Amino acid sequence: MIQPFHLAIPVQDLEKCRTFYRDVLECEEGRSSDHWVDFNFFGHQLVIHQKDDFSPTKAITNPVDGHDVPVPHFGVVLSWEDWTSLSEKLKSVGTKFIIEPTIRFKGKVGEQATMFFNDPENNALEFKAFKDMSQLFAK
């Protein structure tokens, strides 16, 4: 079993982000206060902390397989079926993608389905999937 990671991120609008992670990404809400909310982020612990003076930094990117990948970003590796379902749901609710759902490294080591989009506070998220999970750390 893989141990879950813990990630805490700042947000200005706690309720808008709470709605996004709970209703759009369907993450189960855990403990909370007036200034933070825990989520079960696909088996990991994500905490959004309200910081009124938070200002996202200028977006930077790194070229990867013909796309400008936002850095930093976070997300999870899903099963192929779950990735497909999530990508279809996100398209149906009008998500503005940074990188549309696509297959990266097609026919090469590490071939994967990937998509990038922002949460309401412009935190970049990546969700990916491998048909062959042995390719996750392949060289």
In a domain, 78, yes or no: yes
**DSSP helix, strand, coil percent of the chain (3-state; round to 5):** 20, 45, 35
In a domain, 56, yes or no: no
Number of domains, the chain: 2
Q: What is the pLDDT of residue 103?
A: 95
pTM comes to: 0.90
- The string of pLDDT tens digits covering residues 35-91 is 999 999 999 999 999 998 877 767 788 989 888 998 899 999 999 999 999 999 999
Selected residue with higher pLDDT from 54 and 30: 30
Q: What is the pLDDT of residue 116?
A: 97
Strand partners, 45: 6, 40
Q: What is the largest CA-CA distance in the chain?
A: 48
Domain extent, residue 115, equals: 61-135
CATH code of the domain containing 25: 3.10.180.10
Q: What is the pLDDT of residue 55?
A: 75
The answer on 42 and 70 residing in a single domain is no
- The string of pLDDT tens digits covering residues 97-135 is 999 999 999 999 999 999 999 999 999 999 999 999 988
In a domain, 70, yes or no: yes
| Region class of 93: left (phi > 0), else alpha (psi between -120 and 50), else beta | alpha
Instruction: Say if residues 117 and 74 touch (Cβ distance below 8 Å).
Output: no
Instruction: Say if residues 97 and 115 touch (Cβ distance below 8 Å).
Output: yes
